[in-house]
Amino acid sequence: MPQFDSIPAGNPAWVELGTTDQNAAKRFYASLFGWNVTDSPIGETEMYSMFDIGGRNVAAAYTLNAQMLAQGVPPHWMTYFATESADATAAKVESLGGKVMAPPFDVFDFGRMAAFQDPTGAFFSVWQPGTHKGMGLAYEPNTFCWSELATRDPAGAEKFYKQLFGWASKSNAAAPAGYLELKNGESSFGGILTMTEEFGNAPPHWAVYWQVSDCDASAAKLKEQGGALHHGPFDMPGVGRIAVCADPQGANFYLIQLSA
């Protein structure tokens, strides 16, 4: 069972749902993935919902505030990458042509974070751990297993993230043409997907893949719970069976049943 007490700098460290209906989202994901939910106050009226399996944290959710909604921020899953210094990463993002959307700040004693937009338009965050180390469980059914950047400028994105995090990349013959597999040290954790006309007006974004044991069964359950099935399930030879989905509030994500 892939359990973690620390996460190397540059690896996906945390995934967090921003939503318009936190209680509905909790019910949906608890039913879909069997997650437990623990709520903690983060303000006079706000709550932070931590999802776990067997006491190991897998993700979290919060309600998008009025300012975010006024700016047009939709329900979404955010990927956080581990860093040894959120401040140093923020300075480097700007030097590489990215934008600092939320300057580094402390989240109680849990850690320090910052949010950015890369030069191709995709948003991401970093996490400098304190008492909260990040995901305690991943890469098994009903947990995180892959982060994927969809962008219309894959070459620009590749250059930016390599310089920012020191990632390596390689072509993946089993994936769509032009797909780049991302590695941090010896660990493959994600990829870069070139956005085609099929994406329409969708902005560049980091997407989250949730591993499941049976993609068809999970996709059917998702629809029963009010989620949307945008595409699939379909087979990706050499990779697995995939479904492109959204929760009832509109946050997009992928389900994947990995090939044996």
Return the domain boundaries, the chain: 12-129, 143-258
Q: Given strand 205-211, what is the order of strands in its sheet?
A: 168-171, 180-184, 187-194, 143-151, 205-211, 252-258, 240-246, 228-236
Write out pLDDT tens, residues 182-235.
Answer: 999 988 999 999 999 988 999 999 999 999 999 999 999 999 999 999 999 999
What's the mean pLDDT in 122-139? 97
Fold annotation for 12-129: 2,3-Dihydroxybiphenyl 1,2-Dioxygenase; domain 1 (3.10.180)
Token pair of 77, please?
A: 């899953």
pTM recorded for the entire structure: 0.95
Nearest-10 crossing angle of helices 22-33, 215-224 = 150
How big is the CA angle at 240 (ends 238 and 243), to the nearest 5 degrees?
140
How many CB atoms lie under 10 A from the CB of residue 19?
A: 25
What's the mean pLDDT in 131-149? 97
User: What's the one-letter identity of residue 230?
Assistant: H
**Which residue is associated with the tokens 């389900």?**
255
The pLDDT, as a whole number, for residue 173 is 65
Same fold? 12-129, 143-258: yes
Return the CATH number of 143-258, one of 3.90.420.10, 3.40.140.10, 3.10.180.10, 3.30.2130.10: 3.10.180.10
